[in-house]
Amino acid sequence: MTGTGAGERMHALVRRLHPLHRSMTGDGVRQTLEIIAEEVPLTVHEVPTGTPVLDWQVPREWNIRDAYLKNRAGERVVDLARSPLHVVGYSVPVSRTMTLAELRGHLHTLPDQPELVPYRTSYYGDTWGLCLSENTLRGLREDEEYEVLIDSTLADGHLTYAEHVVEGSGAGEVLIECHTCHPALASETLAGIAVAVELARSLTAPRHTYRFVFAPGTIGSITWLARNRDRVEHIRHGLVLACAGDPGGLTYKRSRRGDAGVDRAAAHVVAARGGTVVDFTPFGYDERQFCSPGFDLPVGLLTRTPNGAFPEYHTSADDPGFVTAEALADTFTAVREIVEVLEENRTYVNLSPYGEPQLGRRGLYGTPGLDQMAILWVLNLSDGTHDLLAIAQRSAIPFAAVAQAARALAAAALIKEVGT
């Protein structure tokens, strides 16, 4: 599929998922996974409340049916039906009539962005709240009472996550993870899901096994790690995808290791596409769980504009109109290029290292479709210590051309992969 077609398809998925009432747990997550399962088959896992997961426990399950703030005339000045952001995530049930003075401690706005509604949660505290624009709050009357309803449940249930696996021919795995918990945040959450789905659809007969994990942020990755401690040793590379659809440029955050294979591959691709590469910090998304010192997995974070660095972040402005098909296609193309490097990167040894071998009689000199300089660089640096990515970086030749040259040289028995 063309980049344009892929971008449009991903954008359609973002639009479809946007209205769902997602949180850390609950039916909104299940509905999200049901829609993803229409695109790629999923194995869904339900982990009961109270299950120990590393230093945590699986929390109670939260579901929301309705929430509003009504004025004296019966008008819903705040209405969950207009946006899932209007209720603080994990709010306990409420049905009361209150003055504005009593309400203020439970109302959340963005005074510096008065037209926008913020995203707020209270995952581990039994409290409640509503989110609204500062302009709406300014229109409320001090001398009026308001009816507030939050029709929610917070009870023992399950944490839900899902996996999609594309089996490879080798033993190693590539982990691709994105979070499913945040409601109505198109670039921050849904764009990463859309790119992951498109990548899963595009993979055929890979060398690595690709394991896609769709899970709520933090507690989801912690739960996955707790339940897969015997599997993590197989992870050779990993990417967390988030903030993947805004018009800004690409950003790659290295893993804790800093020089893992995925760090080198992603840095090469992102830099070539005009993006930014930054060092690891133990803050952000689930890369910090995978990179915790006990696991220290080679997992980096790929975004466009990073979390917290764009004004739409965690607000109602991060809607499907903020996400573009072009940005989604660009993110997907970058991920595909990273995957191609991970799949094709190998280390070779030159089998004819004394002088330049005679290329013409092997059909490797002036051959249409082959980069002649790539042929020469691969021959020269195939000494058993330089992999193809190192050759591409030193020669400033695109990795795809270097990999193509290596395949041609291997077919002509001029180089041999180390270990074969």
Check which CATH number belongs to the domain holding 222 and give it. Answer: 3.40.630.10
For residues 114 and 148, state if they share a domain: yes
- The answer to whether 301 and 310 are in contact (CB under 8 A) is no
What average pLDDT does range 210-227 have in this prediction? 98
Q: What average pLDDT does the structure give for the chain? A: 97
pLDDT at 212: 98
Helix (H) or strand (E) holding 299: strand 299-303
- The answer to whether 113 and 29 are in contact (CB under 8 A) is no
What average pLDDT does range 307-317 have in this prediction? 98
More confident residue, 390 or 4: 390
- The answer to whether 186 and 310 are in contact (CB under 8 A) is no
Whole-Å CA distances, 77 to 72, 100, 106: 10, 13, 15
Residue 196 has pLDDT above 90, yes or no: yes
For residues 44 and 127, state if they share a domain: no
Res. 279 pLDDT band, cuts 50 70 90: very high
For residue 194, count CB atoms less than 10 angstroms from its CB and return exposed for 0-12, middle for 13-18, buried for 19 or more: buried
What average pLDDT does range 353-366 have in this prediction? 95
Residue 367 has pLDDT above 50, yes or no: yes
What average pLDDT does range 345-362 have in this prediction? 97
Residue 2 has pLDDT above 60, yes or no: no
For residues 307 and 370, state if they share a domain: no
Res. 3 pLDDT band, cuts 50 70 90: low
What average pLDDT does range 172-201 have in this prediction? 98
For residues 225 and 327, state if they share a domain: yes
Residue 311 has pLDDT above 60, yes or no: yes
For residues 175 and 132, state if they share a domain: no
Tokens standing for residue 84: 């899932």
For residues 119 and 223, state if they share a domain: no
Which residue range(s) make up the domain with 401?
Answer: 347-417
The contacts of residue 74 (CB under 8 Å, 6+ apart) are none
pLDDT at 1: 42
For residues 252 and 112, state if they share a domain: no
Tokens standing for residue 202: 């595009």
For residues 221 and 333, state if they share a domain: yes
For residues 90 and 109, state if they share a domain: yes
pLDDT at 125: 87
Res. 410 pLDDT band, cuts 50 70 90: very high
Number of structural domains the chain divides into: 3
Query: Which residue, 155, 173, 206, sits at the end of a domain?
Result: 155
Q: How many CB atoms lie within 10 A of CB 31?
A: 15
- The answer to whether 70 and 77 are in contact (CB under 8 A) is yes
Query: Which residue, 343, 378, 402, sits at the end of a domain?
Result: 343
For residues 296 and 189, state if they share a domain: yes
pLDDT at 419: 83
For residues 322 and 279, state if they share a domain: yes
Residue 40 has pLDDT above 80, yes or no: yes
3-state secondary structure of 341: helix
Q: What is the CATH number of the domain that holds 94?
A: 3.50.30.90
pTM of the model: 0.96
Res. 420 pLDDT band, cuts 50 70 90: confident
Query: Which residue, 343, 370, 403, sits at the end of a domain?
Result: 343
- The answer to whether 195 and 214 are in contact (CB under 8 A) is no
What average pLDDT does range 348-359 have in this prediction? 97
Q: What is the CATH number of the domain that holds 411?
A: 1.10.10.10
Query: What sign for the dihedral angle of Cα 265, 267, 268, 274?
Result: positive
What average pLDDT does range 51-79 have in this prediction? 98
What average pLDDT does range 277-288 have in this prediction? 97
For residues 187 and 334, state if they share a domain: yes
What average pLDDT does range 203-207 have in this prediction? 96
What average pLDDT does range 141-166 have in this prediction? 97
Rounded CA-CA distance 152/129 in Å is 12
Q: Which amino acid is at 213?
A: V
Least confident of 61-65, 102-106, 168-172: 168-172
